[in-house]
Amino acid sequence: MADPMKIRAAMAGDKVEVKVLMSHEMETGQRKDSKGATIPAWFIQNVTATHNGKTVLSAEWGPAVSKNPFLSFRFAGGKPGDKVVITWTDNKGDKRTDEATVA
C-alpha cells in the first residue's frame, strides 16, 4: 500500500482550493537500470476528487506526470467543514483514497 496523500483544502474567496501531494514513483517506462534492462512503467492513471459525493475533478495521467505528483484545483459550492475525498489508481491496479476537511 502506498503512502498517504497530503491534502489541503481551504476556502479561497467563494471557492475551495484543494492541493494534493501524492506519493508515487511515476516510473516512465523509458529508463533503463544498470544492466540495461528497461524499468517497466509504473504510474498513476486515474485521479478522482469528490465533494459530498459529487465528482469535482477527474484526471487521466500518463507517465509524464512528475514523481510524487502535485495537483491543485478549485471548485465552487463548498464550505468549511466539508469533506474532500481523493482517490488514485495506478497502472498496476494499486489504489489509495484519502480525505481532508475544508478549512
Q: Please give the Cα distance from 60 to 89 (Å, whole number).
A: 10
Residue 3 or 95: the one with the smaller Cβ distance to other proteins is 95
Residue 83 or 91: the one with the smaller Cβ distance to other proteins is 91
CA distances from 5 to 14, 31, 34, 37 (A): 25, 26, 31, 31
Q: Please give the Cα distance from 7 to 39 (Å, whole number).
A: 30
Smallest separation (angstroms) from other proteins to the CB of 83: 16
The residue type found at 42 is: W
Residue 87 or 98: the one with the smaller Cβ distance to other proteins is 87
Smallest separation (angstroms) from other proteins to the CB of 4: 19
Smallest separation (angstroms) from other proteins to the CB of 101: 19
Q: Which three cell numbers stand for residue 48?
A: 478522482
Contact residues for other proteins (CB under 8 A)? 15, 28, 30-32, 39, 45-46, 54-67, 69-77, 89, 91-93
